[in-house]
Copies of this chain bind each other. A is one copy, B any other.
């Protein structure tokens, strides 16, 4: 995964490419996620975006992240019972979850694969398959 240096203009283009009207708030939120290439919670994103001046409200952060997800610009990662993480990498890959620190770490696509395609219940389609490996420090 090459480290691209994103600008806010890049974000505008990216949003347009996903049929999203690039408003100021949306650009800032996208920039927070993509410039870091990190797994962030809504909380963290809001803190980052409003760090210097107040740029967005809580409602907009949630609205926007849901919009991004619908347009497949980001992916939700659900590993922590108390908060959702947003992942700017929508390509196929899996995650380690550090249960102690709450940190999410990518697993390279080639390092882990799902073997076997189980028959889905009737009339159902698979929306995505993911592997989560929960890890923790050896000597607690």
What are the residues of chain B within 8 A of A98 when measuring CB–CB?
121, 124
Q: How far is the CA of A79 from the CA of B121 in the complex (A)?
A: 18
Q: How far is the CA of A127 from the CA of B129 in the complex (A)?
A: 20
Within 8 Å of chain B (Cβ to Cβ): is A91? no
Within 8 Å of chain B (Cβ to Cβ): is A1? no
Contacts A81-B76, A126-B135, A133-B128 known; A112 to B118 CB distance under 8 Å?
A: yes
> Across the interface, do A124 and B115 meet the contact criterion of CB distance under 8 Å?
no
Contacts A80-B78, A81-B76, A115-B114 known; A120 to B96 CB distance under 8 Å?
A: yes
Within 8 Å of chain B (Cβ to Cβ): is A134? yes
> Across the interface, do B127 and A135 meet the contact criterion of CB distance under 8 Å?
yes
Within 8 Å of chain B (Cβ to Cβ): is A116? yes
Interface string of A97-126 (1 = CB under 8 A from B): 011000001011011111111111101111
> Across the interface, do A133 and B129 meet the contact criterion of CB distance under 8 Å?
yes
**Minimum CB–CB distance for A115 against chain B, Å:** 4
> Across the interface, do A133 and B126 meet the contact criterion of CB distance under 8 Å?
yes
Within 8 Å of chain B (Cβ to Cβ): is A9? no
> Across the interface, do B123 and A134 meet the contact criterion of CB distance under 8 Å?
no
Give the 5 A-B CB pairs with smallest separation, nearest first.
Answer: A111-B118, A115-B115, A127-B134, A124-B135, A129-B133
